[in-house]
Amino acid sequence: MNEIGNTGYLSVLRRLLAVEILLVAVMAILVTNRGRILGAESASVEQDYIKWVDFKVSYEALCEAYQWDIETHGTQNEVHWVELLALTAARTGGEFGQTALRLLREMAQSLSRGESTVEELGEKLQYYAYYREAYGAVLDGLVGEYEEECTEADGKKGWRTVYGLKAYFPLARGFDYTHYDDFGVSRSYGYQRRHLGHDMMGQTGTPIICIESGYVEALGWNQYGGWRVGIRSLDKKRYYYYAHLRQNYPFAEGLELGAMVTAGDVIGYMGHTGYSTTENVNNIEVTHLHWGLELIFDESQKESYNEIWVDVYPLTRFLAKHQQETHKVGDTREWVRSSDIRDPAMEEEE
């Protein structure tokens, strides 16, 4: 082949090579964009649940909404306390000062008189659905109908149907304690972090009460919480964490991992264990119960960097409306509940 022929041949090869490079570049762009689209679709699926809850409902608002629920229960126009709180939050941006209490009363009166419905009020509020789901994750299951053990006129034990607060205060009735709102306070053991629970100072051995019926999901030693119990609500939305239990005798007799426990049961005893990789060590200076409430909208949130813990100080004060009496078992260190309940939610699980 002569020189002119070689030049033409090389020119054609260069053009073909350029076209091939262009095609590869286009394919790469298409694949990358498709990956981004698929990634965006995947991310949108992953984000299809609540990632954060700032629970600021005040003690006063909890009490007032609960009272409306109790007083209207069984009437034609029942006022559900969680719906009422969610409606209020949707109007105030989640703040619960005096203005919120006034709005809460106005809406409760309107609902109880049949002048409006939750659906009518909610559809006008952009964030009602969010607050209903978020507050429901905190409060659903705490109020409802159940059977309570009682003593009849003839002295015999019987049962009566009750509607109201079926969740319990976390300490047994009659035991002294002090507390204040310490959520978010800095902690430094292990690493710098926020305090994601509520501390209740008291006496070593104070019986710890199961707040809500559920399953024992964690039991044993944790270097931060010492001897601790974790209980998951029956609807799986709430995880109750009870920590720093008593040295040598932390748990109620017979408590086992995976067991079902009823609201009001004694589950353990107050102590000051923790802050150690060695089991059964008292490294906490002050005897207290640390209890925390984690909200779970998706299982991927459990034990992750996306955990949602809420401030339960107002809720703790509210739960004091329903305390469990206990009595000591002979000469042992064991305490048990003095009266029982039958929780319909437990029966459904069984």
Span 66-108, pLDDT tens digits = 999 999 999 999 999 999 999 999 999 999 999 999 999 999 9
Residue 241: beta bridge partners?
230, 292
Q: Which CATH number fits domain 164-349: 3.40.50.970, 3.40.50.720, 3.40.47.10, 2.70.70.10?
A: 2.70.70.10
DSSP state of 126: T
What is the reported pLDDT for 21?
Answer: 46
Average confidence (pLDDT) per 10 residues, the chain, 350 residues: 44 51 45 41 60 96 98 97 98 97 98 97 96 98 95 87 97 97 79 84 98 98 96 97 98 97 98 97 97 96 92 98 97 96 86
Work out the burial of residue 193: count CB atoms within 10 Å of its CB; fewer than 13 is exposed, 13-18 middle, 19 or more buried.
Answer: exposed
Give the integer Cα–Cα distance in Å for 191 and 82. 37
User: In angstroms, what CA-CA distances link 152 with 13, 36, 42, 322, 343?
Assistant: 102, 69, 60, 21, 20
> What digits encode the pLDDT tens for the residues 321-342?
999 999 999 999 999 999 999 9
What is the reported pLDDT for 342?
Answer: 95
- Nearest C-alpha neighbor of 141 from the set 74, 90, 211, 198: 211
Instruction: Give the predicted TM-score (pTM) of the model.
Output: 0.85
Give the integer Cα–Cα distance in Å for 231 and 218. 7
Q: Could you tell me the residue ranges of all domains in the chain?
A: 59-140, 164-349
Give the integer Cα–Cα distance in Å for 168 and 320. 7
Q: Which amino acid is at 256?
A: E
What is the reported pLDDT for 89?
Answer: 98
